[in-house]
Amino acid sequence: MRGNLPKREPGWVREWDEKKIVYRILDKRRDAKKFILHDGPPYANGAIHIGHAVNKILKDMIVKEKPSKGIRLLTCPAGTARHADRSADRKAPRQESPG
């Protein structure tokens, strides 16, 4: 891989852990304005389609944009699709036409 990333990345992560970079960033934004991103289950609406990719790309853009503006980003991930709308899986009851 270009740049030898697989060998270099563990060293970076170790250095970030030693310097507590993540905690320093979080402490710096402790009193900043909050933005909460509710991230639902990835494929709750049936078969995967291009809309799922667009959704993930938009969320990725938000995750990168908000902290760059000094906003404290909190994410609220959804655990399962257990309560997702499953209307596509249910057949509508047959209605008889009048007459």
- Distance in angstroms (rounded) separating the CA atoms of residues 48 and 67: 30
Does the global pTM surpass 0.75? Answer: no
Residue 14's pLDDT is what? 96
- 39 neighbors 75 (Cβ within 8 angstroms): yes
- 72 neighbors 32 (Cβ within 8 angstroms): yes
Tens of pLDDT along the chain (99 residues)? 578 888 999 999 999 999 999 899 888 888 999 998 888 776 666 788 888 888 889 989 998 899 889 888 888 877 655 555 544 444 444 444 444
- 65 neighbors 26 (Cβ within 8 angstroms): no
Residue 95's pLDDT is what? 46
